[in-house]
Amino acid sequence: MAQSAIRYAQRTRYIQDAQLGTVIQSLFKIVDQNTTELSTESEWLFKAISEWWSDFENMPPGLKDVELDKWLTVASRKELFKGLLSEAYKQCDENLKGEIYKIIEILQD
């Protein structure tokens, strides 16, 4: 099964492509649930998820990489994203927890 990379600050974790799609969907669900709390300053998050989904659908297996450095350019974005990941972790199926944790882990200072 093909794996793609999740990269941030010169760190990389790998996730199976099939699981990556489910993780992206989970993040979208959390963002959608919190739309009223997210400010207009969080538009970047919708753009990021849209780009990740587009890459997931259009890139060949093993090349569906998620480059977080492009989006997490300031501490406030990183903290918001970590909070959304934590919420996704709480709400996801047990088999997805390890995959979401990989992303949380890569963001640790």
**By three-state DSSP, how is residue 11 classified?**
strand
Q: What is the DSSP letter of 74?
A: S
Considering only 21-25, 41-45, 65-69, 102-106, which range has the smallest mean pLDDT? 41-45
Q: What is the DSSP letter of 38?
A: S
Whether residue 38 has pLDDT greater than 90: no
List the Cα angle 68/74/79 in 5-degree steps: 75
Distance, in Å, from the CA atom of 76 to the CA atom of 25, rounded to the nearest integer, reads: 22
Q: What is the DSSP letter of 68?
A: G
Considering only 3-7, 31-35, 43-47, 74-78, which range has the smallest mean pLDDT? 31-35
pLDDT at residue 48, as a whole number: 94
Q: How confident is the model over 52-66, as pLDDT tens digits?
A: 999 999 999 999 999
For residue 79 the two structure tokens come to 């903290």
Distance, in Å, from the CA atom of 62 to the CA atom of 101, rounded to the nearest integer, reads: 20
pLDDT at residue 79, as a whole number: 93
Other residues' Cβ atoms within 10 Å of the Cβ of residue 69 = 10
Q: What CA–CA distances, in Å, run from 30 to 3, 4, 27, 33?
A: 24, 22, 5, 5
pTM of the model: 0.88
